[in-house]
Structure 1
Amino acid sequence: MTRRLEFLYDFSCPFAYLASTQVRALAERTRAELVYQPFLLGGVFKALGGEPMASMAPARARMNGLDMYRWAEHWRVPLVMPPGHPNRTVLALRATLASDDVPRASHALFEAYWAEGQDLSRPEVVERALTGVGFDGAALVARADDERAELFARTERAVELGVFGAPAFVVEGELYWGQDRLDQVERALGGTPPAPAPRARRAGARVDFWYDFSSPFAYLASTAIEGVCARTGAELRFRPFLLGGLFKAIGTPDVPLFSFPEAKRRYFERDLQRAAAERGVTLRFPSGFPMRTVLPLRLVLVAGHDAGRLTHALYRAAWCDDRDIADPEVLAAICAELDLDPALVERAGSEAAKRALRESTDQAVSLGLCGAPSFVVDGQVYWGQDRLAFVERALGTL
């Protein structure tokens, strides 16, 4: 039976453009029926109560921009930021729906916006792009208003599906968000994502792993980062910092997950479990979430060469076993289980330990971090447990 892959997008999103450069080949590899579903991203944002970019911290916005170009380089596709971005795409979306070939029209308009940097809010640009791939561009622009209700209906359906951003994909009722989830989409369709070509090891490679125990994403990263270093021969440095302190400094909510619309929050909870299953690890939200992590972070900072194994033990305690790692007695017990001196917990309360955590957090801010986990390789910051492939490539093996 042929499986169905729905691709939901708006031309205004660079990550949707990036996905559009890969999704046809993915559908061909998996023999899936690919269904193009344009929708109005601004309409989804309005339905969910706001525009995420409007409240995004500058550090996060910078990281998003950097990430965008890294994906373009990774897939070897052109990416040009159009003047005045984001440009209105209502006309382009309606003209696409007016065509008799939504995929062909969509790729032409994606290319005009993101490969050529053109303004799709201008009728002559939309007309020229569609004419260039064999349509009567003028006729489609003229008929665009006829598709007002259709675009509205598709946008409403996107909201009903739980979509909160672009690109989105639906396979057998399961929602995936982002061009960085195409590997999961391919596996859901029964395929195997192409393996990257290996690179030679690079002498002297090193990665700094920046984390806070409060982040489930950093927990997932902690289960994989040592494997990356084993494959690359890179040195790993554990860099605990206070995520709440970073968020305060850059203007991000203390617990971003709690600030998300309900649809996005539900999606992230599901996405975390998918990622945990892929890694073969357990992830259970602690009963005391959000957690207080100042003391365990200081504990790692005074642990010296034992920082790595203590970090893993604390992550397991919090995210697998629901132990309260803010409790000094629990920390002392964990130290004893590792044959470490429980007196380390007392040292974690010293002025030197407090100063070390402040300095580490200040350094995280100065490096431009916007969340956890983050990785630094050769001065370049990579954010997210789902960017470990980029980290590995930077270290010289992918």
Structure 2
Amino acid sequence: ATPRCIFLFDIVCPYAYLASQAISKLERQCNTSVYWQPVLLGGLYKNTEAPQGTNSATSILNATKLRVTSNDFLMHVHRSGVPLNYPPEHLRTPKQKQPTLKAMRILTAIPSDARAVYAHAFYKARWVEHVDLTKEEEIEKIVQSVKSPSWDSLQLGSVVDVLSDDSIKQELQVQTQKASSRGVFGVPSFLVNDELFWGLDRLHFVAGALGFPASPPRKQISLLPHRKNTEIHVKFYFDFSSPWSFLGSTQIERAIAETGANVKLEFVPILLGALFRKIGAPNLPSAAVSQAKLEYSRKDFADWVKRYGIEFVFTPHFPIRTVVPLRVVLASKKLCPDKTVQLIHQLYRAAWVEEQNIADVDVLSDLLRAWDFPASQMLKLTQTKEIKDALIANTTEAET
């Protein structure tokens, strides 16, 4: 039998709003059943000891990460075509405490087979129409606006009755706690045969788990207006120290080729640790998230590795000191520019597949010789002011 998907959501989250539209579409495409499970996002944060407490995850982001995250969300909105009008500040946390708690209690009371249609109504009220969901009279209007199944046919009593029912309040808390115990730390989340997927941009993994593989969404390049004869300059800022950067390096050229755009791709080495310090990010981002989110991120990375069919071994030399290898790339651009991209891929593979300690100058020298690069010349260049300054300049450019 086709496995059932559990969709864990809270009306308070805009990503979950977009996911609510997408999961309904996926349900029809995959001819499967989706169980809509209300949870409290703030409760998930509290249960998993998220660093932001019960506040929005964006509340602790540095300005650069917040800008990137906001742009990413706007791209999701653009691609989905779903109408969205962000609520005014007075209807958002922290100005308004628990802005969707009453709506979530109503949805908890509603039978599961009728929950989706009411959830859609609440999502529209908050994320399109700017309705204040803390007001019971507004809640009443929303539930009465649903024609099938009608509120009266559900025989739940009045909105006031439901909102004052202690058993409903407790049930919502219980379901939030159960979700936390299954590794859920945020919304939108999806469980397929107890396998957790988190995030709007992981729906292709959900489809795959349901037995209907789907391609991950293309984000930036496919949204750029371009003509075949107009060249687009794409810069890939990288540091060998990051496994996610390694993953990106294995896919960037293929992803660009699939767009059919006329793209000039430039690999730009940067010092990731220095960049983090400049923008106010933790030097080791994985140490600044909840344990539940950290465990999921490891599983998520493994999902991507499996999807793309690439080799990967987490290096025993982590965290990798990559200053010299990055300078070697810049030296290569001067001495043998036609082989620089090849060198980048070889260094990534050495670090993240072959478990080589590329931070060790002797190891690095041996690798360069084995790959037929002028090792002595390149390593000598890495000590020059020109190469050192170029790496610093790249890092500054990445920040700006």
Q: TM-score range by the shorter chain?
A: 0.7 to 0.9
Q: 1:180 aligns with which of 201, 221, 245?
A: 201
Q: Match of 1:229?
A: 256
Q: Aligned Cα RMSD in Å?
A: 2.0
Q: Match of 1:15?
A: 15
Q: Contact (CA 8 Å) 2:136, 2:159: kept in 1 or not?
A: no
Change (3 A) 1:20 1:118: same
Whether 2:156 is the aligned partner of 1:143: answer no
Tell me, what secondary structure is at the counterpart of 2:197? strand
Change (3 A) 1:275 1:356: same
- The amino acid that maps onto 2:102 is L
- TM-score w.r.t. structure 1 length? 0.87
Change (3 A) 1:202 1:280: farther
Q: 1:208 aligns with which of 212, 221, 235?
A: 235
Q: Contact (CA 8 Å) 1:18, 1:72: kept in 2 or not?
A: yes
Q: Which runs of 5+ in 1 are unaligned?
A: 367-398
Q: 2:385 aligns with which of 344, 347, 351?
A: 351
Distance 2:215 2:399 in 1: 36
Q: Match of 2:306?
A: 277
Change (3 A) 1:127 1:63: farther
Q: 1:217 aligns with which of 244, 247, 257?
A: 244
Change (3 A) 1:309 1:271: same
Bigger drift between 264-273 and 348-357 goes to 348-357
Distance 2:140 2:151 in 1: 8
Cα deviation for residue 144 of structure 1 reads 1.9
Q: Match of 1:341?
A: 374
Q: Contact (CA 8 Å) 1:332, 1:342: kept in 2 or not?
A: yes
Change (3 A) 1:358 1:115: same
Distance 1:127 1:71 in 2: 31
Tell me, what secondary structure is at the counterpart of 2:132? coil
Cα deviation for residue 229 of structure 1 reads 3.2
Bigger drift between 89-98 and 186-195 goes to 186-195
Q: Contact (CA 8 Å) 1:57, 1:251: kept in 2 or not?
A: yes
Q: Match of 2:399?
A: 365
- The amino acid that maps onto 1:287 is P
Q: Match of 1:385?
A: none
- TM-score w.r.t. structure 2 length? 0.87
Distance 1:76 1:16 in 2: 15
Q: 2:101 aligns with which of 84, 90, 109?
A: 90
Q: Match of 2:34?
A: 34
Bigger drift between 65-74 and 98-107 goes to 98-107
Q: 2:318 aligns with which of 283, 289, 302?
A: 289
Deviations 1:287-342 (A, max 9, x none): 12121111111111221123311111111011101111111112212222321110
Identity of aligned residues (%): 34
Cα deviation for residue 230 of structure 1 reads 3.0
Q: Contact (CA 8 Å) 1:83, 1:119: kept in 2 or not?
A: no
Whether 2:128 is the aligned partner of 1:115: answer yes
Q: Contact (CA 8 Å) 1:162, 1:263: kept in 2 or not?
A: yes
Change (3 A) 1:47 1:195: closer
Q: 1:254 aligns with which of 283, 290, 294?
A: 283
Cα deviation for residue 118 of structure 1 reads 2.8
Cα deviation for residue 259 of structure 1 reads 2.0
Q: Which structure has the greater CA radius of gyration?
A: 2
Q: Which runs of 5+ in 2 are unaligned?
A: none
Distance 1:39 1:32 in 2: 22
